[in-house]
Amino acid sequence: MTAVKKNEIVGSLYDFEEIKLSDKMFTRFAERMYSLAGVDLPLTPKNHALIRNRIVKLLRRHSLKSYEEYWTMLEKGGSELTSEFISALTTNMTSFYREANHFDFLKSVLPDLAKKFGTDLRLWCAAASTGQEPYTIAMTACEAAADMSPATKPRLLATDIDLQVLKKASTGTYEEREMQGLPPAQRTRYFEKIKANGDEYWRAKDQIHDMIRFAPFNLMNPKYEFQHKFHVIFCRNVLIYFDEPTTKKVIDNLVACLAPGGYLILGHSESGNVKHPGLKPMSRAVYQKI
């Protein structure tokens, strides 16, 4: 086996970093991402650096020498390459109990929703990322159970366009650093420690894991066709990546599949984006369907 010198490795990485991304290629990638996922990436130094730094990793992975080569491969490729491209350009920032007041609100309204709609409560987390948010929703539902009929069965659908993070979410397994934000009481009640390949992980217990169904979903779909209406929809910290027309279309579709009296919960930074005649504001970034 031929030894590889350290400076040769550094030199190889440096060569990749030196590959230039033209404005023309930036625009092609940005337009493709917009058409696939609705993510709006105008030509700015920040976005230029983002696309360059993320796609250069794909150049390394496929042993390509230019962004033009990758574009040609993407054009000819199938669903796997498209999924890889979306995953590379999707920002996945999440944690347990992020924007915690939303879960306090959820816990307070679930008993009333159960009385109004019966024992079959349906919730949707429309941007599940690596899963911390849907598992937090599931834990909150469990903690609200004391004030609901024992027959009440909250069902949670967790979706994301990024198949790679969705796969991780479905396992419910996290490293210690990924457990950030989870209080000790909830950690021991709803997760268990496991060992794999000599490392320790935390895995969601069946109590919350079995409440959730994970599935791919693209918010850019023309219509959201679900068999039943949802009583609570979380779609947090997604609209910030959309332009105004896309945001309006997504909000219209979310409201259409929300039961009257149900709640739409957005991210704190998105609370000013909603102007819909079918919604009334309840608290910060929380809306009820009229």
Please identify which of the residues 98, 122, 160, 162 carries the catalytic annotation.
Answer: 160
Q: HEC profile for 98-123?
A: CCCHHHHHHHHHHHHHHHHHCCCCEE
Q: Which residues contact 88 (CB under 8 A, 6 or more apart)?
A: 54, 55, 57, 58
**Across the beta sheet with 191-196, what order do the strands follow?**
173-174, 199-204, 191-196
**Which residues, including other chains, have CB under 8 Å from residue 176's CB and lie 6 or more apart?**
200, 202
Q: In angstroms, rounded to a whole number, what is the distance separating the alpha carbons of residues 203 and 104? A: 24
160 given a catalytic annotation: yes
Quote the CA–CA distance of 74 and 84 in Å, as a whole number.
10
Q: Which two tokens stand for residue 181?
A: 């934000």
Q: Where are the beta strands (DSSP E) in the chain?
A: 122-125, 155-160, 173-174, 191-196, 199-204, 212-216, 230-235, 258-266, 279-283, 286-289
**Residue count of the chain:** 290
State the number of CA atoms in the 13 A half-sphere of 2 facing the CB. 3
Per the CB < 8 A criterion, the answer to whether 163 and 216 are in contact is yes
Catalytic residue among 28, 52, 54, 187: 54
Contacts of 276 (CB under 8 A, 6+ apart): 251, 252, 255, 287
By three-state DSSP, how is residue 259 classified?
strand
Which helix (H) or strand (E) segment is 208 a member of? helix 206-209
- Which residues are catalytically annotated? 54, 160
